[in-house]
Every structure is written in C-alpha cells, then in structure tokens.
C-alpha cells in the first residue's frame, strides 16, 4: 500500500503551506527517504516571514514530525503532527471502482459508488454533523486528558484496501464469514471496500506509535433502523517501548477508555466484559448503563504479538480499541433511525452545531407502507445470487431491495420460511417496510417500487417468485 504519494494543497495546524512530496522510489519500507519541499504563503510568523522558502530536506517517514496537515485536498487529516501514509484520493477511488466494475468478483453496487462520488460517505468530517461532532469529541479527549500521548489522526484514508490488509494482517481466519461475498464488498479478487478501520492498522504501526483512525466502512448487511451498508468507525492504537507488563497495558487501556466514556456520557455505571477479537488478546468490551439498559460502547484489547512482529515492533507491546460512531451518536443525540444521518433535510441538519451534543427533535413521522414478497429458493449449488452461481444469502435479497428502493426502505424482515418436503425447495417470505424520512409516499409510488423490486429479484437472483 505504501507505493505512491501525491502533491497536495495543505492546511497547517498553525499556517497555510503548500507541500510537494516526491518519493525517491516506491516505498517498500518505513525507512525509505522522501524529499519534501515546503513553500509558505505570506503570513505573520516569528519563524517564517514574507514568503520565505524552506529548502528541500530529506526525511524518513518514521521520523517525520512537522506541523503540516494534509487535507483533501488531502489523502488524510492529521490533527497534531503529520506522518506520511499515502492513500488514494476520492477521484482515484472512483477510477479504481469504475475500472473494476466488470470484474467477476466485483459486487459493489451503484448506490455505494454514488455516495463515494458525492462525498456523502465522509460524514465523519462533515461540519455540524453528529458523526463529526462525536469524532472531534473523542480526538479532543485524548488531546486534553492525555496530552503526553501524541496521537496522529487519520480521517481520510482510501476505503479501498487489499484483502491482506483487511483480513490477513489482522489474523482473521481464512474461513471466517466476514471474508465471504455475502458480507463484504469486493472490488476484485485482491481488493475490498474496508469493513473496518483496523484495515490500516498494520501499515500505520510501521510509522506511528500512537494514532487514531476514523473513516467510512462498508458491509453487506440486513435492513433495519440500526444497520446501513455504509457506516463509520474510529479506532485508536498506542504502542509502548520497553518492558511494560501486559497488566500495566490493560490497566492503561481501561483507565483511558473509562475516562472517554465519562466524557461522552457523563457519570454512568460501567462494566467490562471479556470478548474475542482475532487481532487482540486479551480482548474486552466496555458497556455502560444508560437509559435503563446496558449498552455496548466499544471493543478493545492488547494487540496480538504477531501483528506487532509483522510491523517490525518485535520488542514493543500495545493496546487498541475500536468503536462505531453511529452507535454512539444514535444514543447521545437520540437519533432513532440510522438513515437520518444521510438526510439533507434542513429539519435534520439545522439541529446540530459543532462542539455541542443536542437531542434530536423528531419532525413529522410519515406513515409506513408494508409489502410482502415470496419466492422459492433452489437448494445447494443450484442457488444463485447477484454475483453469480453461489449459494443464496439473505444479504443478496437485502442488496437487491436497496438497489431499487434505496433509503425509502426502513426495514426488511423474514416473516415466513417453508421447505417443501418433496422437492427440498425452500420458500422465503419477506416483509418490506417502505417509509421516507422526509416526505409522504403515495400508494402509486409504493406499488411502482414493489413491482420494480419483484422484477429485479426475479432477474438477478433467479429465484422463482410466488
């Protein structure tokens, strides 16, 4: 992944600069020299005045510590200091997705590409948006409460990663369900749309010993008020030098995350639950008692030894945590439906201001319309899906409904399943709930959508409609 760098207009933490990065060769390790030229614009400063030029210098990525922060324009955002972790720009992401659209393994629908193209996927960096407010609050917590830890922040890394980055580097088993096309959007045989921000962990570990990563992630999933094919995650990693005990690492991790929970939710009761993640051991989940129930807030643990070894950190140890921004925002802002995060209705967007957590005030909730669809599914190898001859999966049907109806679908649920004892064929009956977040849908619109859903399912899943 460290193969190319791009020239960018950049925003400094303390001034405006223009930086041009010229790799001396393809970056194959964390010690490859990079030549950086920095030219300041006129401004008042005790360091550089009147457009003075900083001469080109040769640095090594692991030792870079400057005030330059690359924005997108930038392939990533650095909150406090900048290190070189190149990534594709959004325009190049779209180019890659376009060129791979005909690949046999590609299962990325047009609806996903459209959101990337319009930058809607980057809600976590959209001003005055609940997800951006939560992200900023978390970054500020580590900055103010733990100032001795100099975290690097990455908020705009390319969502296209290799299968190796997304799964292998994180020790996810070869037969794990998350690797299947029923769960993951494949660009081609070797690349996917990241399913978690942890996909960048192994590479950044070669450059930084304390970092926060946030971004849009992608999963094929069910359709209801808390699931969406694009959502946003944030993770943090801290690496320790020297002979630090595992007990001390766990203690430092839990103390920091308990403080984060108190900062976000106030004085709440908490509990730690043992968990399992392939990339950490031991692993934990933090739950809080909020609104009369226990809620999972985040997962965390001690980074697996092999992951550190592969990153060249043979003696070091460290911790990592990960959380879902939508999960936190839905609780803190009292947002009842995950689709609302994507709304451009001013009745929604006008309710939120940066640096403030305010409860969402619902506007008129329009009536739902329920429609059923039933079909026969062939058993075994005869079953088909949107991506060709492979066993049918419920997510294939969900994807088909989303492709046709988009965000006008509130929920899809399996209400009946029947297997014919003579033929072995299985019948599924799904109930689709149509409801717009912004307007009333007419019966004519709903009937038209349902007809198109039936046609699309019949043509693409090759099931037999009942």
Q: By CB neighbour count within 10 A (0-12 exposed, 13-18 middle, 19+ buried), where does 59 fall?
A: middle
Report d(CA 253, CA 259) in Å as an integer: 10
pLDDT at residue number 117: 83
Exposed, middle or buried: residue 448 (CB in 10 Å: 0-12, 13-18, 19+)? exposed
Q: What is the dihedral of CA 18, 236, 141, 339, to 10 degrees?
A: 90
pLDDT (tens digit per residue) in 336-383: 999 999 999 999 999 999 999 999 999 878 899 999 999 998 765 444
Range with the lowest mean pLDDT among 71-75, 255-259, 326-330? 71-75
What percent of the chain stands above pLDDT 70?
78
SS (H, E, C) the chain: CCCCCCCEEEEECCCEEEEEEEECCCCCCCCCCEEEEEEECCCCCCCCCCCCEEEEEEECHHHCCECEEECCCCCCCCCCCECCCCCCCHHHHHHHHHHCCCCCCCCCCHHHHHHHHCCCCCHHHCCCCHHHHHHHHHHHHHHHHCCCCCCEEECCCCCEEEHHHHCHHHCCCCCCHHHCCCCCCECCCCEEECCCHHHHHHHHCCCCCEEEEEEEEECCCCCECCECCEEEEEEEEEEECCCCCHHHHHHHHHHHHHHHHHHHHCCCEEEEEEEEECCEEEEEEEEEEECCEEEEEEEEEEECHHHHHHCCCCCCEEEEEEEEHHHHHHHHCCCCCHHHHHCCCHHHHCCCCCCCCCCCCCCCCCCCEEEEEEEEECCHHHCCECCECCCCCHHHHHHHHHHHHHHHEEEEEEEEEEECCCCCCEEEEEEEEECCCCCCCCHHHHHHHHHHHHHHHHHHCCCEEC
Q: How confident is the model at residue 82 (pLDDT cuts 50, 70, 90)?
A: very low
Q: Which residues are registered as beta bridge partners of 40?
A: 17
Q: Which has more pLDDT, 429 or 38?
A: 429
Could you report the per-residue pLDDT of 83-95, keeping only the tens digit for each? 555 556 777 888 8
> What does the pLDDT read at residue 83?
54
- Judged against a pLDDT cut of 60, whether residue 21 lies above it is answered with no
**Cα 232 from Cα 163, distance rounded (Å):** 19
Backbone angles phi and psi of 279, in degrees to 5: -100, 0
CB 285 within 8 A of CB 273: yes
Weakest mean pLDDT among 8-12, 162-166, 289-293, 316-320: 8-12
Query: Residue 194 and residue 213: Cα distance in Å, rounded?
Result: 13
C-beta neighbour count of 29 within 10 angstroms: 11
pLDDT of 326 above 80: yes
What is the pTM (predicted TM-score) of this model?
0.78
**Boundaries of every domain in the chain:** 8-71, 91-339, 369-465
Q: What is the arithmetic mean of pLDDT over 266-282?
A: 97
Peptide bond just before 455 cis, omega within 30 deg:
no
DSSP lists the bridge partners of residue 295 as: 288
pLDDT (tens digit per residue) in 38-81: 333 333 223 322 333 333 333 333 333 333 222 333 333 344 44
Tens digit of each residue's pLDDT (9 = 90 or more) over 175-223:
999 999 999 999 999 999 999 999 999 999 999 999 999 999 999 999 9
Average per-residue pLDDT for the chain: 81
Query: In CATH, what number does 91-339 get?
Result: 3.30.930.10
Question: Cis peptide leading into 432, omega within 30 of 0?
Answer: no
Using CA atoms, how far residue 103 sits from 106, 108, 152, 242, 385, in Å, is 5, 10, 36, 47, 15
Give yes or no for residue 6 having a pLDDT over 70: no
pLDDT band of residue 243 (cuts 50, 70, 90) is: confident
In the CATH scheme, what architecture does the domain 369-465 have? 2-Layer Sandwich (3.30)
Please report, to the nearest 10 degrees, the dihedral formed by the alpha carbons of residues 434, 439, 440, 442 taken in order: -80
Look at residue 233 and tell me whether its pLDDT is greater than 70. Answer: yes
pLDDT digits (tens, 9 = 90+) for 96-139: 888 888 888 999 998 899 888 877 779 999 999 999 999 999 99
Distance CA 412, CA 427 (A): 16
Amino acid 37: pLDDT: 33
């Amino acid at each position: 992944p460290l193969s190319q760098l791009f020239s960018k207009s950049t925003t400094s933490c303390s001034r405006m600069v223009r930086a041009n990065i010229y790799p001396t060769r393809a970056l194959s390790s964390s010690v490859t020299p990079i030549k950086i030229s920095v030219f300041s614009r006129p401004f008042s400063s005790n360091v550089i005045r009147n457009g003075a030029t900083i001469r080109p210098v040769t640095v090594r990525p692991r030792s870079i510590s400057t005030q330059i922060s690359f924005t997108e324009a930038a392939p990533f955002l650095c909150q406090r200091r900048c290190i070189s972790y190149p990534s594709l720009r959004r325009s190049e992401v779209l180019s890659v997705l376009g060129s791979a659209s005909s690949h046999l393994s590609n299962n990325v629908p047009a609806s996903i590409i459209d959101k990337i193209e319009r930058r809607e996927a980057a809600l976590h960096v959209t001003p005055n948006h609940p997800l951006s407010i939560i992200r900023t609050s978390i970054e500020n917590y580590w900055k103010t409460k733990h100032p001795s830890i100099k975290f690097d922040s990455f908020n705009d890394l390319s969502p296209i990663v290799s299968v190796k980055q997304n799964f292998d580097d994180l020790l996810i088993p070869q037969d794990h369900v998350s690797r299947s096309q029923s769960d993951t959007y494949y660009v081609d045989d070797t690349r996917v749309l990241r399913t978690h921000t942890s996909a960048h962990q192994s590479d950044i570990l070669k450059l930084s010993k304390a970092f926060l990563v946030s971004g849009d992630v992608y999963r094929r999933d069910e359709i209801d008020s808390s699931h969406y094919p694009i959502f946003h995650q944030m993770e943090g990693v801290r690496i320790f030098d020297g002979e630090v005990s595992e007990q001390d690492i766990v203690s430092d991790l839990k103390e920091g995350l308990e403080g984060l929970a108190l900062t976000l939710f106030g004085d709440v009761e908490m509990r730690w639950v043992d968990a399992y993640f392939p990339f950490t051991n031991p692993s934990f989940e933090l739950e809080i008692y909020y609104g009369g129930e226990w809620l999972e807030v985040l997962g965390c643990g001690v980074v697996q030894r092999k992951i550190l070894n592969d990153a060249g950190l043979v003696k070091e140890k460290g911790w990592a945590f990960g959380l879902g921004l939508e999960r936190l925002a839905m609780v803190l802002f009292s947002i009842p439906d995950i689709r609302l995060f994507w709304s451009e209705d001013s009745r929604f967007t006008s309710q939120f201001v940066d640096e403030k957590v305010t409860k969402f005030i619902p506007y008129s909730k329009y009536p739902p319309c329920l429609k059923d669809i039933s079909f026969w599914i062939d058993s075994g190898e005869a079953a088909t899906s949107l991506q060709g001859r492979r066993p049918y999966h419920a997510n294939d049907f969900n994807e088909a409904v989303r492709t046709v109806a988009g965000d006008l679908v509130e929920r899809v649920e399996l209400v009946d399943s029947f297997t014919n004892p003579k033929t072995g064929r299985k019948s599924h009956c799904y109930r689709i709930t149509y409801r717009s977040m912004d307007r009333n849908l007419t019966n004519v619109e709903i009937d038209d959508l349902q007809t198109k859903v039936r046609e699309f399912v019949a043509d693409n899943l090759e099931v037999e409609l009942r």
